Chain A
Amino acid sequence: MTITTEAVKSAATSQRILIVDDDPNVCEVLSKILSLRGYEVDSVYDGPTALELIQHRDYGLALIDYRMPGMDGVELYRRIRELRPSLAGVFVTGFPTIDTVYPAIAVGVERVIAKPAGSNELLEIIQEFVGKPA
């Protein structure tokens, strides 16, 4: 496993991970998995709560569900970048097509992964951005 300079830089700032998904079960199960691996995790069910949270806490990565009622993932990440330009974003979508991937890349998302994501795949990506848990 190689650690990129970007990841090192991110790791230097924070290893805390923010999960945004309107499905409470997804939030819960991911939180549990990442916690077990030693990461600090916060999970919220909607965009506005996420925006509020990032103003108070420093995150190294945001795992964002693409489709959410109200504010969708793309809009949320666009606003996150305004507030925290360095916060990396990874999108999770149930339907990865050109229509969903393109807008995500356009707002600067680092990765788009398909649901249901395996935890190994997810952990690899997380390590890439925030490094191994301290």
Chain B
Amino acid sequence: MKLAMSPTSRTLLLRYGSAPLLVLAALAVRVALDPVLGQHAPRATFYAAVVVAAWYGGLGPALTTLALGFLAVLYFYFWPPHAAAATGAGEIEGVSLAIYLAVGAIIAVLMAAVQSARRQAAQRAAELEQVHCQLRDRLQDLAKAEHRVRAVVDHVVDGIITINARGMIESFNPAAEKIFGYRAEEVVGRNVNLLMPEPDRSRHDGYLGTYLRTGAAKIIGIGREVTGCRKDGAHFPLDLAVSEFRLGQQRAFVGIVRDISARKRAQQGSKFLADASASLAQLVDYESTLKKVTRLAVPFFADWCMVDVLEADGTLRRVAAAHSDGRAIERERGWSDNQLPASQRQHGPAAVLRTGCSEVIPVVTDEILDDLATDEEGLSLLRSLGLRSAMSVPLGTRGKLLGVMTFASAEPGRPYGPEDLALAEDLAYHVAVALESARLYAEVKDADRRKDEFLAMLAHELRNPLAPIRGGLDLLGMEGVDAATVGWARTMMQQQVQHLVRLVDDLLDVSRIMRGKVQIRKERVTLAEVLERGIETARPVIDAQKHQLSVALPKEPVWIEADPVRMAQVVANLLNNAAKYNEKPGHIWVSAENRGGTVTLRVRDDGIGIDKELLPRVFDLFTQADRSVARSQGGLGIGLTLVRSLVELHGGSVEARSGGLGQGSEFLVRLPVLAAPPVPQPAIPSRSATGAPVEPRHRILVVDDNVAAAKILSEIAGRWQHEVQVAYTGESALEMARTYRPDVFLLDIGLPGLSGYEVAQRLRLQPEFARALLVAVTGYGQEEDRRRSREAGFNHHLVKPVSPEALHNVLSAPAIAG
């Protein structure tokens, strides 16, 4: 047997154990109230005990208390020893005791019922509280979940649109607002077909109905790429996924849309670039290539695409244009006037040309159209095109601006932005490279063509003199030829041979200059001196054509550092040209201007002028205008090439100007002027005003195996009106000396065969040359060299390059003057 009691037993003991205690307490209170109550209400306090027992203990303890209370009352108030005071009222007492029992029982039952109800209520309340808490938690969870869903729906990049079974929009998330351009309140309650272009718009209701009736789905549960229609009317590609759900008995649909314009554009952009690059890679004529590229850009990338190429004169020339609307071709000319100086425009190709930076015009405004338009007519044309956005990018490669490419869009709601610009610049780079390649290719082809032409012309020019020479030889060999004819034939052939030699010399000259084999022997000379020499050389041609030559030079002498022979050649070539390219007797003006350390020499004529096309290439080798004109004067068309090369060797520059054919030409030669006044120069004799020589004339024999060197010396000496002949070897010099009898020998030392020393020694052995002036001309100037030349019989020893002054001093030395 267990001594420990269960809680239930303990509660039971407590409940029932309290009954006697309550009765005792009630008895005690009643006894204490005796003085007040006496025999009245002997059971009053026991009711209270029953109430307390019923309240706290329930029905059992209450009845127990009632019973104990009855016994106590009975014992203390009605048991005879105690009921002394109770005088004969036994019946009454019995009734009251019965009442007590009945009332007590009723109280006990009522109280117990009340107590039970109270307990149940409390329990119920606790349960309710618990449910309430659970509900509250659940609601909070729901709110959180809803918040999360809302956040997703509101912030997701995909548009989420719900519609009911009738196709009416019920919700439209912010992404959908952004994609379609409508606010939610504008579309909720309206038919979803307003988001579609025709013909989907008209078909959608029927399609929805069919699905609801038959379950035949076209999109629902499938998803595909469709075309959407924005609020502004623009169509765009979108991915659409639709699924069905039920709200109670209602069928509804949710569509998730994603704007794929950017992706599509990127795909198309890549394809466009690839196609364009493939086209550009074909090295055909670049204009047709550019036309193809502009056509590729339309309509996907632009509604108008234009390419303007920078011309040599700084203007833009439209070489290609494509339009999404073929009828707009004639309107194209309204777009930017290429003839206007770039500085006058703020927008478009001309402005891009000026700044070298790309321009994006997201929205084309009226002000911009005003700026772009050529005139009122152009403006109205531009307006009619409905341009909305435009972009111009420079075509440049290796820091060189070649032109401008322009794109314009008339599509609503698709302004050009950074991505479009990146694509356009990418394309422009490809175009520029292709342009440059095409240009180089054309240049090479052109150079090749000119070379072929030159060779053909050269063959002609070299062969032409051969015809009369061959005829002349035949003539000389014929019987019955009279002396006059023989004389004529010989002179004619000599002239033809000289002409041939001149041509070959020119050819060799240009070849040597081109290969950098020409040495310029610079010295201080006056421009006037150089001019005089050049004019003298060209005089026969000028006079033959009966041209009038005017020369205007600054009063102060202009000193330059130049090779006088070469610079005279420059002047002569320019004058020859001026004379040659003038069919009628005309004018040639020569002038010079000294300004800012540079002298500008101008040779102007009123001849046939230079074609605009030819002008930029006029100094190029093998370039010649109408050969038939030049041919009347002979020549290989290399004169201007020589001019430019020689002037550049002197640190100068050349320029050709002409208003076009029939407008005459002007050639400018710019040379640096010597800043400081030159050191005193020996007076260089020149022809006097009367043209008579100022010095005694010598018969000079120049001996040098270097043809050019011999020519230079003979030209210098010849300029001073001396008689000059040339020999190229020592042997031929001795041979010529016998008949020509020169009084001056200019002898190169390093001759092939007989050296200069040997020639001098042999000459001195001949009495007629004992007093001749022998001048050694050599590259060696050491004392040992001078001694050797003295010993060989030379009077003077000049070191190459020989300056005109030195030569003049030698020729005018008193030793031979007398």
Binding site for B on A (CB under 8 A): 22-23, 25-26, 28-30, 32-33, 36, 67-70, 92, 94-95, 115-120
Contacts and interface: CB of A to CB of B under 8 A. Distances in A.
A115 B464 contact: yes
B464 A94 contact: yes
B475 A36 contact: yes
Given A94-B467, A119-B471, 20 more contacts: A22-B632, A25-B468, A26-B471, A28-B492, A29-B475, A30-B471, A32-B475, A33-B471, A33-B475, A36-B475, A69-B632, A94-B460, A94-B463, A95-B463, A115-B464, A115-B467, A116-B467, A116-B470, A118-B474, A119-B470
14 contacts: A23-B464, A23-B467, A28-B468, A29-B471, A32-B485, A33-B471, A67-B628, A69-B628, A69-B629, A70-B628, A94-B464, A94-B467, A95-B460, A118-B470
Contacts of A70: 628
A95 B627 CA distance: 15
Contacts of B629: 69
B176 interface: no
Interface in B433-480: 456, 459-460, 463-464, 466-472, 474-475, 478, 480
Nearest to A66: B460
Contacts of B471: 26, 29-30, 33, 116, 119
Interface residue tally on B, bucketed by range: 20 to 34
A69 B631 contact: yes
A49 B472 CA distance: 25
Interface in B476-500: 478, 480-481, 485, 488-489, 492, 495-496
Nearest to A25: B468
Contacts of B628: 67-70
B629 to A, nearest CB: 7
Contact of B470 (A22, A95, A117): A117
B473 to A, nearest CB: 9
A26 B631 contact: no
B478 A29 contact: no
A74 to B, nearest CB: 14
Nearest to B465: A25
B478 A116 contact: no
Contacts of A67: 460, 628, 631
Contact of B478 (A30, A36, A69): A36
A95 B462 CA distance: 11
A49 B664 CA distance: 29
A33 B474 contact: yes
A60 B472 CA distance: 24
A70 to B, nearest CB: 8
Contacts, number: 74
Interface string B153-164: 000000000000
A23 B466 CA distance: 12
Contacts of A33: 471, 474-475, 478
B637 to A, nearest CB: 15
Choose among A68, A94, A118 the residue with the greatest number of B CB atoms under 10 Å from its CB.
Answer: A94
A92 B460 CA distance: 12
Contacts of B459: 94-95
A22 to B, nearest CB: 8
Interface string B12-25: 00000000000000
A69 B625 CA distance: 13
Which of A25, A32, A67, A116 has its CB near the most chain B CB atoms (within 10 A)? A25
Contacts of A25: 467-468, 492, 495-496
Most buried by B among A33, A117, A118: A33
Contacts of A92: 467
Contacts of B468: 23, 25-26, 28-29, 116
Contacts of B475: 29, 32-33, 36, 119
Nearest to B459: A95
A68 B683 CA distance: 50
B496 to A, nearest CB: 7
Nearest to B481: A36
Contact of B492 (A29, A36, A115, A119): A29
Nearest 5 CB-CB pairs, A to B?
A29-B471, A25-B468, A69-B628, A119-B474, A116-B470
Given A33-B478, A94-B460, A116 B466 contact: yes
A22 B488 CA distance: 19
Contact of B467 (A68, A69, A95, A117): A117
Nearest to A24: B468
Nearest to A29: B471
Interface string B619-640: 0000000001101100000000
A36 B495 CA distance: 23
A45 to B, nearest CB: 10
